[in-house]
Amino acid sequence: MAQAGYFGQYGGRFVAETLVPALEELTRAYEEIVPTKEFQDEWRGLLASYVGRPTPVTRAHQLGALLTSRGAPGAEIWLKREDLCHTGAHKINNALGQVLLAKRLNKTRIIAETGAGQHGVATATACAVLGLPCEVYMGAVDVERQAPNVGRMKMLGARVIPVESGSRTLKDAMNEALRDWVTNVRTTHYCVGSAAGPHPYPSLVRDLQRVIGAEALEQFGQLDQKLPDAVVACVGGGSNAIGIFADFVPHTDVALYGVEAAGHGIETGHHAAPLNAGGVGVLHGSLTRIMQDENGQVLEAHSVSAGLDYPGVGPEHAYLQELGRATYLAVGDEAALNAALDLTRTEGIICALETAHAIAALTEVSERETKRLGRPPRILVCLSGRGDKDLVTYLDYLAKKEAK
């Protein structure tokens, strides 16, 4: 890292001066409090007794057989089961850590942004169990398409604030949360849900999520001392992906694959794939890869998945791509929907639409890795969340398929 807060050229802190003292305070807390035994014991204690960690790794025999029957190389597929965390996704790891840190900083109010609603639910949950008020900004489009999670947040005592500006999705929710923070910076902690935003958030969120990959590394060691050949995760802002990648990055024989949302297709412009079809620019306080026009204006993203519907990506992912350490693929809406059905009907697991993008990329990853290794690979997928929130979308799609 060239300097604090940067991953190569990416990262940094591009924010209003009002926020600089709060970010400096958070940076000091990240560096001085988070590594302490006292903080780690309390946070990891909650992860064990409240969240249900460690989450298991599950061999997906039938899914592997289905992909092989369709002509893919006979890969061995394993799933890191973040869907089994309390609240149903990896987001709770980060939310508990940040809310604990906010309490140490004597903050009296928590705000968050959310797309699919999983980070909103996780933050509302952390606030409920740790005794702080919570307000969640959520794009009006996402409020409608993720109604179950809106209900969960309200039941947990959080105030959900629909955002009507812009595309009324995740980008706009983050804009409003940042505006709120500027106004209430002394009393409020902004609990960012992804490995994006100004320094120290990309590093803080990564370090609160790297428990995913650390567990997986240990679990594979216990299985037979063999590492996976490839690790695959969906990428929007990128917290689940950087969480599972982080401890595998030094193991250079393990290939890393992030999977973005191709939406209606990269060529249509209606996608959410800045690593595949974006440029370098500033979004939400950091320099990263973003979707922008020739004048540098941020474009609207599209994905059937609310959690991937974001025109930027965490700066560490941009850096891993630039280094060639990670490869980023893109999967369209329909392929993701079909992959979710495949997983459900072969393994009895209804995954989140975000995760379904990673599942949909497995044939391509299998082919690439078989070519690299000269044998069928062993692939670990971060199953980042469960699909309760997406049932309406899945059932609508299923009805259309059956009507044909």
369 labelled catalytic: no
How far apart, in whole angstroms, are the C-alpha atoms of residue 311 and residue 298? 7
Burial class (CB in 10 A: 0-12, 13-18, 19+), 268: exposed
For the chain, the farthest-separated pair of C-alpha atoms sits apart, in whole angstroms, at: 59
Which candidate in 82, 113, 135, 215 is catalytic?
A: 113
Residues in a beta bridge with 163 = 139
Active-site residue flag, 24: no
Say how far apart CA 81 and CA 216 lie, in whole Å: 10
> Could you tell me which residues come within 8 angstroms of residue 367 by beta carbon, excluding any fewer than 6 positions away?
72, 73
All residues at 6 or more sequence positions from 217 whose CB lies less than 8 Å from its CB, including other chains: 227, 247, 248, 251
Nearby residues of 113 by Cβ (< 8 Å), 6 or more positions away: 119, 120, 136, 137, 138, 170, 173, 174, 176, 177, 192, 193
The answer to whether the CB of 2 falls within 8 A of the CB of 8 is: yes
- The label of the residue with tokens 């079909």 reads 338
- Confirm whether 17 is a catalytic residue: no
For residues 134 and 124, the answer to whether their CB atoms sit within 8 Å is yes
Cβ neighbours for 212, distance < 8 A, ≥ 6 positions apart: 55, 80, 82, 90, 93, 240, 243, 244, 382
Q: In this structure, what are the phi and psi dihedrals at residue 243, rounded to the nearest 5 degrees?
A: -65, -40
The helix (run of H) or strand (run of E) holding residue 103 is helix 91-104
Q: Of 91, 107, 171, 389, which is the active-site residue?
A: 91
Active site residues: 91, 113, 384
